[in-house]
Amino acid sequence: MTSKLILLRHGESEWNNKHLFCGWVDVGLTSKGQQQAVQAANLISQNGLSPDLMFTSKLTRSCETADIISKSLGRMWMDVIRSWRLNERHYGALQGRKKSDVVAEVGKEKYMYWRRAYEGCPPLMNDEDEALLIDDRYKYADVPIEDLPRGESLKMVLERVRPFWETNIKSELLKNKTVLIVAHGSVVRSLIKIISTISDRDIEQINIPNGVPLVYEFDEKLGKIGDYYYLDPDAAEAGAKEVANQGLEKN
């Protein structure tokens, strides 16, 4: 018996389209993002995959993508578990800023350090701004609201994702289930780093496209069978290149 883990970054959001740092700011999908969610469901179905349950973040763009996929697959009855631990990386004071403007202000080297380096943490959001982002959905988080992030590196994201992986996700995979996680670029990168034991340096080069599912397969002891693969490699390659170049495009 084998289990399968499907990882998916949500469809294009309104702020992805504008090349703004989004993080914990709650924005919806564009029409393109909604279409990407439908296409992701089609890829899942065409490859003979039938998710038994789904995990998402607490952010609308993840939840909306998950809902579209559930409906498209005819599996609206599927259990969905939502957790702040699967939220996008908190981009601190960069949230809401255009990426190219940040490059112009601080230079490419610092921009790339904040954005891609494993331990690169952007400037933290101040307390007044943070109040705009902490709402009722976080009242029942497993940590006090005052301990929720105000800015994170990828390393910090991984540190909050790992306990959820160990406690909530692995236990379902050990039951030989097919698990779908609809989350965010930094969360997918964190899970790839955990599962594939990728080095701190190499994870900097991995970019996650919107709306293209990737799959891990495991044996009955949760040993990884091969490495992950995308269900549409060409779309994944094109989308990853677009993500890598954000903020660096020539005007």
| Catalytic residue annotation | 10, 88
* Enclosing H/E stretch for 3: strand 3-9
How far is CA 200 from each of CA 84, 110, 119, 241, rounded to the nearest angstrom? Answer: 24, 17, 8, 20
Q: Which two tokens stand for residue 66?
A: 């998950």
Residues annotated within the binding site for substrate are 9-16, 61, 88-91, 99, 115-116
How far is CA 177 from each of CA 42, 56, 245, rounded to the nearest angstrom? Answer: 20, 17, 36
Write out the DSSP string of 55-116: EE-SSHHHHHHHHHHHHHHT-TTSEEEE-GGGSPPP-GGGTT-BHHHHHHHH-HHHHHHHHH
How many residues are present in the chain?
251
Amino acid at 176: N
| 157 exposure class (CB count in 10 Å sphere: 0-12, 13-18, 19+) | buried
Residues annotated within the binding site are 9-16, 61, 88-91, 99, 115-116
Cα dihedral: 181, 169, 185, 17 (round 10):
30
C-alpha span between 63 and 147 (Å, rounded) = 23
